Chains A and B, each alone.
Chain A
Amino acid sequence: MSITTSSHAVVGTPLRPLRRGRDNCILGGVCGGFATRLGIKERNIRVMFALLTLIFGFGILLYMTFWLVLTRSGEEHSIIQQIFQNRREAQLVLVAFIATLILIITLQTTGTQTSDGFGWPLLLSGFASFAVWRGASIDERNHLTEFFNSAPLIGGAFSKSRKGFVLRLVVGAALIFVGLHQLHHIGGFWGSAGSAIVGTAVLVIGVLVLFAPWWLQNVRELTSERRERVRIEERARMVAHLHDSVLQTLTLIERAAANESDVVRLARNQERELRQWLFSPETSTDAPTSFVGLVGAIEHDVENDYGVRVELVTVGDCVPDDRVVTLVAAGREAAINAAKWSEAASVSIFTEVEPTTISIFVRDRGVGFNLDAIPADRQGIALSIRQRMGQLGGKTFINAAVGSGTEVELVMPRSL
């Protein structure tokens, strides 16, 4: 058994305090709460409440009362307390309560109340569910919305399911039948039922006129509240990102202020990362699943490791295969070479994906070299690039001259 309060009933072990259940709840968690408190199976408590309901709806009223006064597990206040913390909510709920009382008294005195006596507990329960909705915490509201959305009778998404349709049909037909039966009791439509229906309709309209402004305002508040929440979440995401990236980098820059090349490298790194985040969040370099993603990684690594700025321009994209990976590896060698030996401040990389070929151009405007004058033992890198490209049918051209920089052109045919 866990040390903290268990969220489920442990049979035979009563647990304090009495709280409405969060994990073992269906609607409000009242039964679950009692089960945990008393150490009885949830099911038994639920059966008991259901049986109590048969006595003039007493079970439902009891349930609603507990729902209002018991604090939900993990929360600070009960629903009643939450309502009374907010003056406007308290007023609204009080008005609803008085309206319910008036309705009950009217029904009692006019004698419309049928002998079965279900009327007033149901009306009070109806009021209580209104109060629950007004006072519930955001978390509980979400739970309830979810519950009602998945309930087969109310949820809109259920029209497609056959089972839901049948259930809806049966329950609907049964209710209509009971209603007609009741009307028949009081003399059929052309007897006193007609005036009863008219009376009810007028009553409903009256209630609507009284409460519509409130209700509309509440709906509006709810939507604006939701919008506000979305905005806050969005902001939180933004703040988290800025904190993790930009703020950290700024701190690093402050500490490295004396070292110019470090500052440039850090700033450039952050700039690239922020750009990526702002303008192309879908092409993350973390998991390069595209040619452009792979080439982006070259830009990142060369700038980081050699402090040379890389000017990357890409045209078109494709899914990487063996040839693409080889091509990119060759491009990386060429870019690193340029960064290491050219003494240029920046290296340009241009890639283009065409229907039949993919090419990478790596260019610097550095010191350059005379291709023929290089001793054979220094040609290792150029040779390895050439060989690897050649094995897969690719071509390598190196264009270099002393004083005017170097350009390496890599062309790979596309796999079909």
Chain B
Amino acid sequence: MTESHRPRVFLVDDHELIRAGIRAEIADSVDIVGEADEVEAAIEMILERTPDVVLLDVHMPDGGGQAVLRAVGEHDTTTRFLALSVSDASADVISVIRAGARGYVTKNISGPDLVDAIYRIAAGDVVFSPRLAGFVLDAFSTGQDDQPVVIADPDLDQLTARERQVLRLIARGYSYKDIAKELTISTKTVESHVSSVLRKLQLSSRYQLSHWASERHLN
């Protein structure tokens, strides 16, 4: 896929108004190849039309975005998913990423930012919102409090110092370009760090990830 190619985008959301709003904001920059307002139809049409990027609502009847992710994930497709939600409850975010989404943004994201996110997902990158970065830092915290952290697989259950740095900068509101400048590395390296964090997020068996609760531990 060349850079000049407009990504083929599919919308899944059970709210007509939200779909209309998103369509209006991105229609000039991407090709919208279809829309669905329920899980079953979404799965069928995504498999049939193989879009580059699916904008996926997290909360829908009949299993929500996760059901779509799981069903499509069973097939061998190149389609990538960007989760879109009104909520930033940590449980939602983490579970949809673990189900296979390549990024997570909230619905109040601005039009240009959304288009940018779609292009990055289409190019194989990962889209982390500042809040998602915060969740990940929390989930992979070293457990300085009273609860011990069981590290089963150090490759997957811990973040490297560099990955932590990158996530902190994302949480502070830095763009990938800013981060690259700040750490004097290339944008591609920043992206590879974030991709590796995403992989850990999806595969790690850390307790905090599988049993994410939104409570913060006070000490």
Contact = CB atoms under 8 A, between A and B. Distances in A.
A, B: real partners: yes
Contact of B214 (A279, A313, A365): A279
Given A275-B87, A275-B88, A350 B216 contact: no
Contacts of A352: 137, 168, 171
B141 interface: yes
B218 A315 contact: no
Chain B, interface size category, equals: 20 to 34
Given A311-B173, A350-B134, A407-B172, A355 B87 contact: no
B131 interface: yes
A316 B216 contact: yes
Nearest to B144: A355
B89 interface: yes
B219 A318 contact: yes
Given A275-B88, A316-B138, A355-B144, A350 B172 contact: yes
Nearest to B89: A279
Contacts of A313: 130-131, 133-134, 171-172
Contacts, number: 61
Interface string A81-124: 00000000000000000000000000000000000000000000
A268 B68 CA distance: 31
B134 A290 contact: no
A292 interface: yes
Contacts of B168: 350, 352
A387 interface: no
Interface in A247-299: 271, 275, 278-280, 282-283, 290, 292
Contacts of B216: 283, 290, 292, 316-317
A363 interface: yes
Contacts of A348: 130, 172-173
Contacts of B215: 282
Nearest to B137: A315
The prevalent SS among residues of B at the interface is: loop
Given A283-B216, A290-B218, A315 B134 contact: yes
Contacts of B88: 275, 279
A354 interface: yes
A127 to B, nearest CB: 51
A325 B169 CA distance: 24
Interface in B120-156: 130-131, 133-134, 137-138, 141-142, 144
A311 B219 contact: no
Nearest to B142: A355
B217 interface: yes
A365 B110 CA distance: 15
Contacts of B218: 290, 317-319
A152 B175 CA distance: 69
Contacts of A355: 142, 144
A292 B217 CA distance: 11
A13 interface: no
Contacts of B130: 311, 313, 348, 350
A314 interface: yes
Q: 3 shortest A-B CB distances, which residue pairs?
A: A348-B173, A313-B134, A317-B216
Interface of B: 87-89, 108, 130-131, 133-134, 137-138, 141-142, 144, 168, 171-174, 214-219
7 contacts: A275-B88, A313-B130, A313-B131, A313-B133, A317-B218, A348-B172, A352-B137
Given A271-B108, A279-B88, A361-B172, 12 more contacts: A279-B89, A311-B173, A315-B137, A315-B141, A315-B171, A316-B138, A318-B218, A319-B218, A319-B219, A348-B173, A350-B172, A363-B174
